[in-house]
Amino acid sequence: MKIGFIGMGNMAQAIVKGLILKEAAQSSNILAYAPSQEKLKKFAENTGIIPYSSLENMISDSDFVVVAVKPDIVSEVIAPIKDLLQNKALLSIAAGWDFSRYGEILDPSTRHLFIMPSTPVQIGEGISIFEQKHSLTADEFEQVEKLFSAIGIVQILPGDLMGVGGTISACTPAFFSMILEAVADGAVMHGLPRDAAYRLASQALAGTGKMQLETGLHPGALKDAVCSPGGLTIRGVASLENDGVRAAMINAVSASVKK
């Protein structure tokens, strides 16, 4: 199965790195075209993927075509290659370009699926949200689901929930990074070396997340299990509540969803 990327920005690079890392796809089966040929060739040299100087040739050689350009130029990118995409399977990671929107610019024979991945896919710990409505064949969908499951978890959502789902998967890594930095700053303030502070805070967050996924326990139960009566943790929890940490996170999610 050959996967051809139109565009090789940060998210496309993250997907490629994850697929290669997890051996979900051979680098020789990953094709790419990008306007910046110099940057593309450098990335290809580092990863072993196949760079193309001709978009038309890349599409012809691909089993799946991935649209990985900025959302505001999708229409102008698709227009000259619309005929080349006839009877092709197209995957799009361009934000906001859902099934119905692609239906307006693609030939009816082009089968397509809207995916919202997150940057941690590059280490195999990402989230890829698939729009429930798509036109891939059952076999194609199975192949794509298997591919993205190798670099994280796959969540299928109806179109009207892609926005909030995408916020949780794609925006919260920035939120959690801010929390990691703040926790580390607190530890550094009390004498812990910064590299140790980052390492401990990151593992604590990663371990807690994995524990919730594997056990299915309510986050509140995980919190309660660490809070001994009159102990250290409950004092920190009370401080967070007093400073409005819950409201701050809810507001952050809402701000991103509204945008």
pLDDT tens digits along 9-43: 999 999 999 999 999 999 999 999 999 999 999 99
CA distance 15 to 8: 10
Q: Is the pLDDT of residue 259 over 90?
A: no
- Provide the pLDDT for residue 173: 87
* Binding-site positions for NADP(+): 6-11, 68-71
Residues 240, 143 within the same domain: no
Residues 72, 173 within the same domain: no
Reported as type and span, the H/E element at residue 250 is helix 245-258
Q: How many domains does the chain have?
A: 2
Mean pLDDT on 35-53: 96
CA distance 102 to 108: 10
Q: Is the pLDDT of residue 149 over 90?
A: yes
Rg for the chain, CA atoms, rounded: 21
Helix (H, G, I), strand (E, B) or coil at 171: helix
User: Domain ends where: 100, 123, 157?
Assistant: 157
* Binding-site positions: 6-11, 68-71
- Provide the pLDDT for residue 170: 83
Single-letter amino acid, residue 178: M
Residues 219, 251 within the same domain: yes
Domain that holds residue 228: 166-258
Strand order in the sheet with 64-67: 50-52, 30-33, 3-6, 64-67, 89-92, 111-117, 126-131, 152-157
Quote the mean pLDDT of the chain.
96
Residues 110, 67 within the same domain: yes
Q: What is the pTM of this model?
A: 0.87
User: Domain ends where: 108, 131, 157?
Assistant: 157
Residues 62, 189 within the same domain: no
Percentage helix, strand, coil, to 5, in the chain?
60, 15, 25
Residues 7, 66 within the same domain: yes
CA distance 257 to 259: 5
CA distance 128 to 144: 11
Residues 201, 108 within the same domain: no
Residues 118, 25 within the same domain: yes
Q: Is the pLDDT of residue 258 over 90?
A: no
Residues 21, 140 within the same domain: yes
CA distance 224 to 171: 27
Token pair for 159: 């179109």
Residues 34, 106 within the same domain: yes
- Provide the pLDDT for residue 59: 98
Phi, psi torsion values for 128, nearest 5 degrees: -125, 115
Mean pLDDT on 199-219: 96
Q: Is the pLDDT of residue 114 over 90?
A: yes
Q: What is the pLDDT of residues 125-146, one digit of tens each?
A: 999 999 999 999 999 999 999 9
Residues 7, 132 within the same domain: yes
Residues 28, 62 within the same domain: yes
- CATH code at 223? 1.10.3730.10
User: Domain ends where: 118, 138, 157?
Assistant: 157
- CATH code at 147? 3.40.50.720
Mean pLDDT on 190-212: 97
